[in-house]
Chains A and B, each alone.
Chain A
Amino acid sequence: MTVPQADTLRARIVGIVLHSAEGDLSEADLAAAGWSLSGVSYSSLSYIRMIDAVENELGVYLDPEEESERFETIEGIVGLVNEHLGETTGA
């Protein structure tokens, strides 16, 4: 699997996070909350949808109980996915 460029991956993760939200979350809301998911009260159902989508689209396995604090921000998720993608591809 090809590892997406960092900015592409970030945009993709942001898109997945917004699409998975059960509320009417916008990118501006996320930015205003410092890209923190707890800052926008991201629900557990939204998290499940988001992790499913990341796993299905990017072919990685994420366990939110491991390193749970990294799931609290967009940067944390992007970093985590990047590491997993590196492991998957040996990059």
Chain B
Amino acid sequence: MLGDLITTALREHGDRLAVADSRTTYTYRELEQLSSYTARELATRLPADAGRLRVGLRAGNSAAYVVLYLGLLRAGCVPFLLDKATGPQETLDIADDCGLDLLVHEAGAGTPPGTESRGAVRGLSLSAFTRTEGAAERPELHETTEVCRFTSGSTGRPNCIEFSGHAVHRAAVNWVDGTGLTGEDRIVCFASLSNGLAFNTSLLAAFLPGAQLHLGHGLPTSGKVVRGLDQSEATRLVGFPALFESLVRRGTGLGGFQHLRMAISSAAPLSPEVKARFTELTGVPVQNYYGAAEAGPLTFATDPLTDPGLGQPLPGVSLRAGTGAGQEDVVEVRSESMGTRYLNVAGLLESRTTADGYYRTSDLGYLDGGSLVLTGRTSQVINVGGRKIDAVEVAEALRGAEGVEDAVVLEVTDRHGGAALGAVLAGDSSLDLAVPRRHVAGRLAAHKVPTMLRVVPQIPRGSSGKPSMAELRGMFEPIKEKA
């Protein structure tokens, strides 16, 4: 279904520019042809009776990524969008957990052990997984599933969300309609295409009305962002808070903003100071995107400068929350872009969904004139720079390091006033902190390696046996500095 819908959209816009990275530019016609060739090329590398092959796509933003994504859909494969930072062992664990057949990845970049090369497609490597001995039985895909994405769980492994083609398509259609995206728009996207922010605002949404999608790759430093905006004459900028913080640090002399009319930040709270300063420097208000990995994009503020919250529900979205300040409640959402279930955790998504189809998020908030105002969270999700991190997964990895007897992982405030990943380790005071850091770096993605470590003889615990979080947080005394 998605393959057909995308093909129709691509054919509609002919020779308009569709997608560009720093080296490559494709028109809609070229993108349609290349994704079709890629689908055929993939078919020659796959067993004839393969059915819906599960293909991990783990790469940075590029025009080739988009071609591969579309090619996989057109070949009838199910793309599993993995964070580029996912380490080799993590990738292997996910492959076992979700029954992946193949991996598309950048050449030489963290090839998982035990995989077999199947050559390269559009400059990206193709590797085949073999089932690890003793791995759990391969879970069945839901019959409607066309795309899978991941969200950090709280049980030591990422949860894999299954999406129907209809849900993915409606997420894009509703974003286009709700935000007024047109064929005249030029989107510069620095968020990773595997992340919900880019997936929902850019990857398919850009192609429906015939907009241009310019992909930023790597670290969104201010110098690079300004160049990207200048070259593309962008009308929309999509990025994580770190991008906006970087631009604000650059201060005066920000060029490239002449055509920009919308800046979209998400995945972690953007400080009000940075938001205000960005608008002061550029004249462009920052739109705080609100979405849930399990439910797609949810709100949009027509005027972010006057909206009391994160905006009104997008088309096809219903929200339930508290009725006003001081009466906040759990935010519940129902949308046309809901995930079907978690492939690798049977029953969990269903247990978080009400009888009338609302997904219970981890956010607390209320509605002010229909606009959603967030006030807190119901769970201690760690969010560092827009990446959610499962404390259990990192603590388990730390406990495997030599000299570490126990570990608790928590979000702490660094000396710049931002969120950072901290860990308190139980061990001897002579413990070389490089050892646990190296141990985690060898197993998990780089952003899951704690940057602030403390060593204690024993983890302080309360009478219930749970770690005393207040005491643990007290071990990280931030000396705040301005961004």
A62 touches B221 (CB 8 A): yes
Residues of A within 8 A of B449 (CB): 41, 43
A52 touches B222 (CB 8 A): yes
Choose from B219, B221, B227, B451 the contact partner of A21 (Cβ within 8 Å).
Answer: B451
* B401-444 with Cβ < 8 A to chain A: 414-416, 418, 420, 434, 437, 441
Number of interface residues of B (CB under 8 A): 33
A-B contacts, 18 of them at CB < 8 A, read A22-B414, A24-B452, A32-B434, A33-B434, A43-B384, A43-B385, A43-B420, A44-B219, A45-B242, A48-B220, A48-B221, A48-B245, A51-B219, A51-B223, A52-B250, A62-B221, A63-B224, A65-B219
The 3 closest A-B pairs by CB, nearest first: A23-B451, A22-B414, A65-B218
Does B259 make an interface contact (CB < 8 A)? Answer: no
1/0 per position for A44-60, CB-CB distance to B under 8 A? 11111101110110000
B249 touches A52 (CB 8 A): yes
Q: How far is the CA of A52 from the CA of B248 in the complex (A)?
A: 10
* B425-483 with Cβ < 8 A to chain A: 434, 437, 441, 446-447, 449-453
A47 touches B219 (CB 8 A): yes
Residues of B within 8 A of A86 (CB): none
Closest residue on chain B to residue A33 by CB atoms: B434
Q: How far is the CA of A41 from the CA of B447 in the complex (A)?
A: 9
A48 touches B416 (CB 8 A): no
Given the known inter-chain contacts A22-B414, A33-B434, please indicate yes or no for A41 contacting B441, CB distance below 8 A.
yes
Does A15 make an interface contact (CB < 8 A)? Answer: no
Does A4 make an interface contact (CB < 8 A)? Answer: no
Q: List residues of A whose CB falls within 8 A of some B CB.
A: 21-24, 32-33, 38-41, 43-49, 51-53, 55-56, 61-65
- Other contacts beyond A63-B218, A64-B218, A65-B219: 12, CB < 8 A: A23-B452, A39-B434, A41-B441, A43-B447, A44-B219, A44-B385, A45-B384, A48-B246, A52-B249, A56-B249, A65-B217, A65-B218
B446 touches A43 (CB 8 A): yes
Residues of B within 8 A of A64 (CB): 218-219, 221
Q: Residue among A23, A33, A63, A65 with the most chain B CB within 10 A?
A: A23
Q: List residues of B whose CB falls within 8 A of some A CB.
A: 22, 217-224, 227, 242, 245-246, 249-251, 384-385, 414-416, 418, 420, 434, 437, 441, 446-447, 449-453
Choose from B22, B246, B437 the contact partner of A52 (Cβ within 8 Å).
Answer: B246
Given the known inter-chain contacts A41-B446, A44-B385, A64-B218, please indicate yes or no for A49 contacting B451, CB distance below 8 A.
no
A30 CB to closest chain B CB (Å) equals: 11
Count of A-B contacts with CB under 8 A? 86
Q: How far is the CA of A77 from the CA of B245 in the complex (A)?
A: 22
Given the known inter-chain contacts A43-B446, A44-B385, A55-B222, please indicate yes or no for A22 contacting B246, CB distance below 8 A.
no
Closest residue on chain A to residue B386 by CB atoms: A45
A48 touches B451 (CB 8 A): no
Q: How far is the CA of A84 from the CA of B223 in the complex (A)?
A: 14
Residues of A within 8 A of B451 (CB): 21-23, 41, 43, 46
A48 touches B219 (CB 8 A): yes
B239 CB to closest chain A CB (Å) equals: 11
Given the known inter-chain contacts A23-B420, A55-B223, please indicate yes or no for A44 contacting B446, CB distance below 8 A.
yes
A34 CB to closest chain B CB (Å) equals: 11
Given the known inter-chain contacts A41-B437, A48-B220, A55-B222, please indicate yes or no for A22 contacting B249, CB distance below 8 A.
no
Residues of A within 8 A of B416 (CB): 22, 49
Closest residue on chain A to residue B454 by CB atoms: A24
B65 CB to closest chain A CB (Å) equals: 14
Closest residue on chain B to residue A63 by CB atoms: B224
Q: How far is the CA of A46 from the CA of B449 in the complex (A)?
A: 13
A44 touches B447 (CB 8 A): yes
B441 CB to closest chain A CB (Å) equals: 6
Residues of B within 8 A of A46 (CB): 451
Closest residue on chain A to residue B249 by CB atoms: A52
A56 touches B447 (CB 8 A): no
B414 touches A49 (CB 8 A): no
Residues of B within 8 A of A44 (CB): 219, 242, 385, 446-447
Residues of A within 8 A of B249 (CB): 49, 52-53, 56
Q: How far is the CA of A55 from the CA of B224 in the complex (A)?
A: 11
Q: How far is the CA of A41 from the CA of B317 in the complex (A)?
A: 41
Q: How far is the CA of A45 from the CA of B220 in the complex (A)?
A: 10
Residues of B within 8 A of A38 (CB): 441
A31 CB to closest chain B CB (Å) equals: 12
A48 touches B446 (CB 8 A): no
A23 touches B246 (CB 8 A): no
Choose from A23, A40, A41, A52 the contact partner of B221 (Cβ within 8 Å).
Answer: A52
